[in-house]
Amino acid sequence: MGKRRTSQRPWWRQLILWLLVSSGISLLARRRGALSRSGVPAAIATGTLTAGIGGWELGLSLIFFFVSSTLLSRFRPQKKVHATAEKLAKGSARDMLQVLANGGVATWCALRYGLRRRSSGALDSLAHPESDSPDLWLAAFGGALATATADTWATEVGMLASRPPRLLTTGRPVAPGTSGALSWPGTLAAAAGALSSGIVLQGLFALGDFLSGLPRGGVRGRSLPLAFLACSSGLAGSLIDSFLGATLQTVYCCPRCGQETEQPLHQSCQTVTRRLRGLPGVNNDTVNFLATLSGGLIASLLARYTR
């Protein structure tokens, strides 16, 4: 068991290293307008804990999610502003709640994975149930992150679709950017996002194997089919996201101009809006949190029952 090289170094060194890396990336993202002021500490905490405790493979997967989503949101921004400024509650700079809603579940899974991996030995595996094994936490991490990636890619690409998306529940065509709406380009982007996320995670673990000279399927849960798990659970999670967006999420209607919106105060005419459907207090952040939680659960169930 002495082959686990990372656990031989002092744990706090990894944390400090990743605190510096996360701070650098977050401040750069803040300067480029991808994070709001409150989003910066949330992104630093998420990155530091995921990479510093979970390991560099998980940290780099998180960075892949963040960078790819930011780049996609920069692609043809004018068209998206026109399509969605009326609808969405928030702008393109991610605030603290958005960061935690998208990355909180993955961070928690990375923490559990890192802590269980450090403590897992022969005696320990008797003391802990299989549902708390590092493998399942790693699968859950992959599923939660793939869901966030799939959902973000789908939103960014779906807003560029030439035909209006359709509401998942009723099939009615709605304006681009409407929560719970699906389009073919958006759905393909979700599948591509989930698959890329899984391939990146599995590829990084394969690279780790190679660098440390371990055989494939070694000691760190790398026998898991991570790309398959992340792709299937990420796509399922993003569909759950759309379903919850179409059913539970609050949609408001502006009494002055009749526009459907996610804004409690309609920004363009400064009018307090009325709730049209959905549960009070359920916003896009709530839906994203529940969807990433579902994606993580689905991945860990798949990992547990397909072995």
Binding site for Zn ion (CB under 5 A): 254, 256-257, 266, 269, 271
Question: Whole-angstrom distance between the N-terminal and C-terminal Cα of the chain?
Answer: 23
- For Zn ion, which is the closer residue by CB, 16 or 265? 265
CB of 274 to Zn ion, least distance (A): 11
Least distance (Å) between residue 82 CB and Zn ion: 16
Nearer to Zn ion, 16 or 81 (CB): 81
282 three-state secondary structure: coil
Shorter beta-carbon distance to Zn ion: residue 209 or 260: 260
Q: Which residue is nearest to Zn ion (CB)?
A: 254
Shortest Å, Cβ 92 to Zn ion: 21
Biggest CA pair distance of the chain: 68
Q: How far is the CB of 181 from Zn ion (least distance, A)?
A: 20
| Rounded least distance, CB 174 to Zn ion, Å | 17
Confirm if 238 and 202 have CB atoms less than 8 A apart.
Answer: no
Of 36 and 259, nearer to Zn ion (C-beta) is 259
How far is it, in rounded angstroms, from Cα 187 to Cα 217? Answer: 32
Strand, coil or helix: 265: strand
**Cβ proximity to Zn ion, 172 vs 274, nearer residue:** 274
Token pair in block for residue 232: 């299937």
Q: How far from chain centre, in Å, is Cα 221?
A: 21
Q: Assess contact for 19 and 2: CB atoms under 8 A.
A: no
Torsion sign over Cα 243, 50, 194, 219: negative
The residue assigned the tokens 């991610």 is 94
Query: Which lies closer to Zn ion via its Cβ, residue 254 or residue 298?
Result: 254
Give CA–CA dist 215/157, Å, rounded.
Answer: 39
Least distance in Å: CB of 79 to Zn ion? 22
Contact 168, 244 (CB under 8 A): no
94: β partners = 35
